[in-house]
A and B are shown apart, each in its own frame.
Chain A
């Protein structure tokens, strides 16, 4: 078996998230170097604050300031920081119960080494220089030897509160399409379209995904199909897609290649958009260096009859 194809795949997205009243106050507070908790109906103070009590599900709205100093309740030494984490030098992850709070907040603790960290040690917040109203406004915690720090006296009301956060996320993968699709893509590089036949129902799937969805069995027998085919159905695209250099309107169609039992989809060119029709016979148009057909164009053959493709609609 030839080597399966592999390629880097980066999935990256900025999530825009709106905040409720409690989260907004907390994150706005961080921007102003104020730490707010929320008081529960049974008198506990939750930091970081949440909008609903995790035990009783009560609505929580009573904000209360707590100190930027606190005590480590558990920790873990991270000698090899990873992308996106708060510090790029070795640090401790720590849950810290801030003075005045009954619950602990997760963040990084900047310390010279694991021997300098222990549960019960006193720490304080080191604020980020640039603060926007996000959990990263806390740069990290740092060791602190002293009593609870003074409160600012904030009532939890701030000018220009943050209403949302944009959380960037990026995950890196090495993508492999597996055996069947590797074979399909490799054939396309030779300008051939190769599907796979189901050993049970004999249908030919293009592109092949390695299994017959009707029979639930692996497909393996490779079958070259096309290059010509029949338009089974189509639509007219009137809105220009971002980063796509194709004039609208254009036609996007399902095409049943000769010998295939599943229609694939592609753009139709070489014919005015309003003349494309079901049954139109088409062939692929390749461009230099491309790994798949740029589009399909009419062959000039007479149209296929409806009965010839009705099972493929």
Chain B
């Protein structure tokens, strides 16, 4: 069965350095209500719900089951969860809609990193035998990738700084972003990466609604049709990979149909400046493509939500008529280990 499936609504929280006064469900609920309000749907109207989060971030066991309170999950709803960025929850929801089991899906994700030390928390996702016992933090691994790119002549520290500067400058137009405007490039965090090359650590949540066929047209005046979506992963050992390239991104993009026709807009999930260099190369994006008008992950990078936000931002531009064909990318793991690429299109105006 082939069905056209679209993103019909998107909402996100402000991304903040701390949200002590809010539990995860308290942080999430306004976003769920906001995204439902945009379509006029109620919780009970939703055919399938899928979420993405990680208990390690806030150190709160089974937080995703508590977060379900915000959805109104009783009596029991059709629901699933991924311990991944919400972009992968969206992928699962998309497949669910493809089967015809549901016509609408609510996808949400959230990350509350402020209670812990994110750089250390992320070491726990690494190979537990050879790598995790060394506690190489997330900035250190990204710095190894950045140095490899400098050595290969793909970039230099000045160009990396310019990527961060541009991201935060365009983020002045995004009221949800955490870092907006001129931020000093700062000292080395782990050389060659400086503060300005690294994403801010912040708490936030996002949600989108997917709908199939005519249902999408009922719910949205200009649905963002998912023309293709695919995700690929690379070997987990960093020493096996060529860190200056992203074959998984390129393959996902091919499978999603990115290269069939030019896109006018791209939302890339590049938490570190050097990763934007890798992604632009893998996705063959030239200056004709508007990249990360939201400011991207260098302006706001709520864990588990930042990838879903890329899809949501790309879709919202189509909803508003600012884009006709947009690419959305999400990443997960160290040094762009796993990548998801989607192509969204609006119908001719």
Contact = CB atoms under 8 A, between A and B. Distances in A.
Interface in B245-300: none
A244 interface: no
A236 interface: no
Interface residues of A, number: 67
Given A83-B120, A209-B66, A181 B129 contact: no
A79 B188 contact: yes
B3 interface: no
B140 A167 contact: no
B136 A173 contact: no
B115 A213 contact: no
Given A74-B144, A95-B144, A119-B151, A213 B136 contact: no
Nearest to A94: B144
B136 A85 contact: yes
Contact of B128 (A17, A74, A75, A217): A17
Contacts of A11: 59
B117 A4 contact: no
The interface centre, meaning the residue of B22, B43, B73, B136 with most chain A CB atoms within 10 A of its CB, is B136
B144 A85 contact: no
Interface stretch (B25-33, B90-98, B176-184, B206-214): B25-33
B194 to A, nearest CB: 12
Contact of A209 (B69, B120, B129, B243): B69
B235 A54 contact: yes
Interface of B: 20-26, 29, 32-33, 43, 56, 58-60, 66, 68-75, 115-117, 119-121, 123-124, 128-137, 140-141, 143-148, 151, 188, 190-193, 235-240, 243
Nearest to A17: B128
Contact of B134 (A1, A23, A86): A86
13 contacts: A54-B240, A74-B147, A76-B144, A77-B143, A77-B188, A93-B136, A106-B130, A108-B134, A135-B129, A135-B131, A171-B120, A179-B22, A210-B69
B73 A213 contact: yes
A169 interface: yes
Most buried by B among A171, A179, A180: A171
Given A9-B59, A211-B69, 9 more contacts: A4-B20, A76-B144, A82-B120, A176-B20, A178-B23, A210-B25, A211-B25, A217-B33, A217-B72
B71 to A, nearest CB: 5
3 closest A-B pairs by beta carbon, nearest first, are A216-B72, A178-B23, A104-B239
A225 interface: no
Given A4-B20, A75-B147, A93 B56 contact: no
A214 B117 CA distance: 34
B68 A82 contact: no
Contact of B69 (A73, A76, A167, A213): A213
A197 interface: no
A83 B135 contact: yes
Contacts, number: 192
A46 interface: yes
A86 B135 CA distance: 8
B124 A54 contact: no
Nearest to B55: A11
B134 A136 contact: yes
A74 B21 contact: no
A106 B134 contact: yes
A171 B237 contact: no
Given A74-B147, A135-B134, A210-B25, A23 B72 contact: no
Interface in A134-184: 134-136, 165, 167, 169, 171-181
A97 interface: yes
Contacts of B129: 17, 19, 23, 27, 135, 165
Nearest to A213: B69
A231 B123 CA distance: 45
Nearest to B135: A84
A177 B239 contact: no
B276 to A, nearest CB: 18
A173 B29 contact: no
Q: Which of A6, A54, A74, A173 is packed against the most chain B CB atoms within 10 Å? A: A74
Contact of B21 (A1, A135, A209, A218): A1
A134 to B, nearest CB: 6
A172 B136 CA distance: 16
B125 to A, nearest CB: 12
Interface string A50-68: 1000110000000000000
Nearest to A173: B59
Contacts of A195: none
B58 A173 contact: yes
Given A93-B140, A167-B132, A178-B26, A172 B71 contact: no
Contacts of B121: 171
